[in-house]
Amino acid sequence: MNLEIQYRTEAEERQLHQSITARLKETYRNLRADVAARHAEMIQIKQQLQDQIRDLDHVDKANLRQAANMASRVGEFSVEQQKRLERLIESPYFGRIDIQSVEHPSGKPLYIGVHSFSEDADRQFIHDWRAPISSLFYDFELGDGYYDAPDGQIEAQINLKRQYRIEKQQFRFMLESSLNILDNVLQEELSRASDTKLKTIVATIQRDQNAIIRNDDAHTMIIQGAAGSGKTSIAMHRIAYLLYKYKDTISSQDILIISPNNVFAHYISQVLPELGEEMISETTMEVLADVLLESKFNFQSFGEQIQVLLRGKDTAFAERVRYKASTDFLADFDRYVDSLRKSNVSSKGVKVSVYSVSAEDVRRHFQRRQNQPFNEQLNGVTAAIVEQIKLNHQKVIENKQRAELRAQLKAMMGETDLKKLYKGFYEWSGKADLFKIGPKGSLEYADVYPLIYMKLQLSNTTPNAAVKHLVVDEMQDYSPLQYRVLSQLYPCKKTVLGDRNQSVNPLSSSHAEAIRDILPESLCVYMRKSYRSTSQITQVAQAILNNPDLEPIARHGEEPTFNSFRKKSEELDFIAGQVKDFCGGEYQSMAIICRTQGEADELYEHLRSTTTVSLLNSKSRVFASGVVITTAYLAKGLEFDKVLVPFCTKTNYHQAIDRHMLYIAVTRAMHSLAITHRGAITEFLESVCSTRQFSDASSEEIAS
Ligand SMILES: Nc1ncnc2c1ncn2[C@@H]1O[C@H](COP(=O)(O)OP(=O)(O)OP(=O)(O)O)[C@@H](O)[C@H]1O
């Protein structure tokens, strides 16, 4: 197979696909035979070791063990190669560019796929989408272009650009660049029915997205993007890119993602394996808090905090949440923690063995270390007194006496109980009413990270060096103080992404610029184009919460429907009917997104006897296909072909937090949106509702 031959016509391209597939299959067969041979070799060596264990000297044994390890490593590598080949056989490439450059003066076609494929070093048939040269495909149309190679920028002229859809080994179609290929293929891609998991987008990555994926200069990249702009997709592709580019220094075990919940983690779990990388570890802010507090405290979850706020009855609770995310709180709290270090010590004279050290000397040692965390202070003062005795009396203090000295000094340090110290802040600041312990001594969620922050300031916590890249998704849901904690714990590079409009708790949310001020060496980038929803759905979302920067992609679909009812039973019957219609229809996923968990539970109980639905709640681990009933809080980050938002009345959706919940719910829809309400529709939808189809099912029935 010679790629220098210019495959021009579609028939020739189809032929090339067949011969490349044949090559891939042949390589696959050879590799499989190789894996089998390695496996047999390993078994034979192990058997030999077992049979001759008594007769072999330790050098022979070491050699055999080394040979077995080697065979096992080569075997593992071959298995990995096998998986890549399996993916390439299904779909070997999605793009082609013919380029002329200093390296290829006579022109060269490059085929671009999810992985590279070559039979030897000189003949690269398929280029990995992450290779430097492949960025020409994403960044330029026909004509002049350039790409960043390890030795500097390389200029190239692009003479031809094609895109292919090859699926399940079938060559479906190809498109020429003159037809604005990326747009056509993108439209086709976006109008497909959804999967239960986030997909790879390598074939249609847009230029601005490519720039974010490949930007590895920024220590911290903060991506603020509209709903459906591809933030999560880009973050996952960026990880795949970094794993490719820095394969010698970073592996998937070194990366941690902080995601909103387990369902979301499951939803994104397919992207990296599809790109040939292992899935990375994930955690949530709650799990992290529990680890940092060594499971010593009971605390409310973030989801429970949201449910209390949504009930809208406890204004004092809302005030506590708001205050603890404010800059006033941060400034006061910093002063308090500082004062703890300074004033918490009541210095006294100490006796070590037969030697006395005066209260004045003890105070001086503490004062010198007053800006250090408690542990460090204590260890430092102990060491200084031991040193003082050694100098003055030429006496080395034994470990036992040293421990006794430390205990005497610790007793001078006053209160070290974390919870009491934390509570002390509210007395110190004259705001005792802003701290409240919940049932069974549990902490409110708003107190959890301030407590952790205080712990980190007062104790000697070493940063986590095992994590070399941290990804934080749904960044808007974490307070500035939480970012201070993350910054202290994870000094590594970071990718932080989110959308301020999708905050599930507007009382303690953060925006990109505020996060930039906390995380050192950060770069903010903005993604304005929204890909997920049809223009009609985006219009409804914009009416709820206008994002002036949003650029909707021109993709048209069905009109959203607004369905008004007089009786609850009618509204419920309508919803059941929608579920039944969905089950026989073209779509693959549908969500009924409620405002609160209580509403979701009730609706689930009502529908489960007559329809096939599943409930997604805080205990759920996986994102089920079919029809799910859930809340906006849990649906955050996910997407569905069809979304139905029930109970959209004026009384149900009226607070600021409700507006955000409604916005999140509506922006989960890709192709179809239905709103139902009994009584006056929420003011957040009034402007769009009057301009759209309004099916007043109950009044039609009454009329008939
Ligand atoms: N370049 C692209 N090509 C094809 N599909 C894309 C592209 N960019 C984004 N998408 C699609 O748009 C949808 C939204 O992407 P994603 O979930 O990553 O966005 P998001 O910004 O994280 O959304 P949200 O914040 O609303 O949860 C997904 O279906 C994704 O596959």
Of 118 and 185, the one with more pLDDT = 118
Q: Is residue 229 within 6 Å of ligand 1 at its C-beta?
A: yes
Residue nearest to atom 13 of ligand 1 (CA): 532
Q: Is residue 501 within 6 Å of ligand 1 at its C-beta?
A: no
Distance 232 CA to ligand 1 centre (A): 7
Give the Cα separation of 607 and 582 in Å (integer). 14
Q: Is residue 225 within 6 Å of ligand 1 at its C-beta?
A: yes
* pLDDT score at 2: 52
Residue nearest to atom 23 of ligand 1 (CA): 228
Dihedrals phi, psi of 189, to nearest 5 degrees: -65, -45
* pLDDT score at 460: 65
Residues 6+ positions from 468 with CB-CB distance below 8 Å:
249, 250, 254, 255, 492, 493
Residues 6+ positions from 449 with CB-CB distance below 8 Å:
285, 289, 479, 481, 482, 485
Per-residue pLDDT of 205-219, as tens digits, reads: 999 999 999 998 899
Distance 290 CA to ligand 1 centre (A): 32
Give the Cα separation of 547 and 553 in Å (integer). 14
From start to end of 334-450, where are the E strands?
350-352, 355-357
Lowest-confidence pick of 52-66, 85-99, 213-227, 410-424: 52-66
Residue nearest to atom 9 of ligand 1 (CA): 230
SS3 category, 257? strand
Q: Is residue 57 scored above 80 in pLDDT?
A: no
Ligand 1 atom closest to residue 473's alpha carbon, by position in its atom list: 22
Q: What is the DSSP string of 669-702?
A: EEEEEEEEEESSBPTTTHHHHTTS-EEEHHHHHH
Select the highest-mean-pLDDT range: 353-367, 407-421, 507-521, 527-541.
527-541
Q: Is residue 224 within 6 Å of ligand 1 at its C-beta?
A: no
Q: Is residue 499 within 6 Å of ligand 1 at its C-beta?
A: yes
Residue nearest to atom 18 of ligand 1 (CA): 230
**Which of 268, 495, 532 for a ligand 1 pocket mutation test, highest count of atoms within 8 Å of Cβ?**
532
What CATH architecture does domain 214-297+461-525 belong to?
A: 3-Layer(aba) Sandwich (3.40)
Dihedrals phi, psi of 360, to nearest 5 degrees: -65, -45
Q: Is residue 189 within 6 Å of ligand 1 at its C-beta?
A: yes
Ligand 1 atom closest to residue 636's alpha carbon, by position in its atom list: 27
Question: Over the chain, what is the mean pLDDT?
Answer: 88
Q: Which of 695, 696, 586 is nearest to 642 (CA)?
A: 586
* pLDDT score at 341: 74
Residue nearest to atom 16 of ligand 1 (CA): 230
CA-to-CA separations, 456 to 297, 461, 489, 568, 628, in angstroms, rounded: 16, 6, 9, 52, 41
**Which of 129, 183, 194, 201 for a ligand 1 pocket mutation test, highest count of atoms within 8 Å of Cβ?**
201
What is the average per-residue pLDDT within 246-258? 94
Structure tokens that stand for 408 in this block: 């005497």
Looking only at Cα atoms, what is the longest distance across the chain? Answer: 106
* pLDDT score at 637: 93
* pLDDT score at 360: 87
Q: What number does CATH give the domain 535-691?
A: 3.40.50.300
Dihedrals phi, psi of 42, to nearest 5 degrees: -65, -45
Q: Is residue 482 within 6 Å of ligand 1 at its C-beta?
A: no
Ligand 1 atom closest to residue 233's alpha carbon, by position in its atom list: 18
Residues 6+ positions from 292 with CB-CB distance below 8 Å:
452, 455, 456, 485, 489
- Binding site for ATP, by residue number, is 225-232
User: CB-based burial of residue 402 (10 Å sphere; 0-12 exposed, 13-18 middle, 19+ buried)?
Assistant: middle
Beta bridge partners of 166: 171
Kindly tell me the sign of the dihedral angle through the C-alpha atoms of 580, 583, 587, 592: positive
For residue 4, name the pLDDT band (cuts at 50, 70, 90): low
Beta bridge partners of 529: 551
Distance 199 CA to ligand 1 centre (A): 9
Per-residue pLDDT of 126-157, as tens digits, reads: 999 999 999 999 999 889 999 998 888 999 99
Dihedrals phi, psi of 480, to nearest 5 degrees: -55, -40
Q: Is residue 672 within 6 Å of ligand 1 at its C-beta?
A: no
* pLDDT score at 313: 86
Give alpha helix (H) positions in 500-655: 512-518, 535-544, 568-583, 597-607, 632-635
Give, as one character, the DSSP assignment of residue 105. Answer: T
Q: Is residue 591 within 6 Å of ligand 1 at its C-beta?
A: no
Pair 644, 581: CB distance under 8 Å: no
Q: Is residue 671 scored above 70 in pLDDT?
A: yes
What is the average per-residue pLDDT within 268-283? 90
Q: Is residue 207 within 6 Å of ligand 1 at its C-beta?
A: no
Residue nearest to atom 28 of ligand 1 (CA): 532
Distance 569 CA to ligand 1 centre (A): 37
Give alpha helix (H) positions in 123-270: 135-139, 181-190, 207-214, 231-245, 262-267
User: CB-based burial of residue 685 (10 Å sphere; 0-12 exposed, 13-18 middle, 19+ buried)?
Assistant: buried
Ligand 1 atom closest to residue 499's alpha carbon, by position in its atom list: 25
Residue nearest to atom 31 of ligand 1 (CA): 199
Dihedrals phi, psi of 114, to nearest 5 degrees: -70, -30
- Binding site, by residue number, is 225-232
Distance 470 CA to ligand 1 centre (A): 20
Of 229 and 460, the one with more pLDDT = 229
Q: Is residue 3 scored above 60 in pLDDT?
A: no
Dihedrals phi, psi of 108, to nearest 5 degrees: -155, 130
Distance 551 CA to ligand 1 centre (A): 14
Q: Is residue 204 within 6 Å of ligand 1 at its C-beta?
A: yes
Q: Is residue 637 within 6 Å of ligand 1 at its C-beta?
A: yes
Q: Is residue 214 within 6 Å of ligand 1 at its C-beta?
A: no
- DSSP H/E element including 286: helix 285-292
**Which of 202, 233, 502, 664 for a ligand 1 pocket mutation test, highest count of atoms within 8 Å of Cβ?**
233
Give the Cα separation of 633 and 594 in Å (integer). 9
Distance 187 CA to ligand 1 centre (A): 13
What is the average per-residue pLDDT within 665-679? 96
Q: What percent of the chain has pLDDT over 90?
A: 55
Distance 231 CA to ligand 1 centre (A): 6
Per-residue pLDDT of 682-693, as tens digits, reads: 999 998 886 444
Q: What predicted TM-score, i.e. pTM, was given to this entire model?
A: 0.86
Ligand 1 atom closest to residue 637's alpha carbon, by position in its atom list: 27
In the block, which residue shows the tokens 């000297």?
A: 57
* pLDDT score at 704: 30
Give the Cα separation of 62 and 42 in Å (integer). 14
**Which of 184, 531, 633, 634 for a ligand 1 pocket mutation test, highest count of atoms within 8 Å of Cβ?**
531
Q: Is residue 304 within 6 Å of ligand 1 at its C-beta?
A: no
Identity of the amino acid at 37: A
CA-to-CA separations, 241 to 211, 246, 318, 611, in angstroms, rounded: 12, 8, 42, 43
Ligand 1 atom closest to residue 236's alpha carbon, by position in its atom list: 18
What is the average per-residue pLDDT within 434-444? 92
Pair 316, 459: CB distance under 8 Å: no
Per-residue pLDDT of 285-318, as tens digits, reads: 999 999 999 899 999 999 999 999 998 889 999 9
Q: Is residue 5 scored above 60 in pLDDT?
A: no
Q: Is residue 209 within 6 Å of ligand 1 at its C-beta?
A: yes
Per-residue pLDDT of 560-611, as tens digits, reads: 999 999 999 999 999 999 999 998 888 999 999 999 999 999 999 999 988 8
* pLDDT score at 702: 33
Q: Is residue 233 within 6 Å of ligand 1 at its C-beta?
A: yes
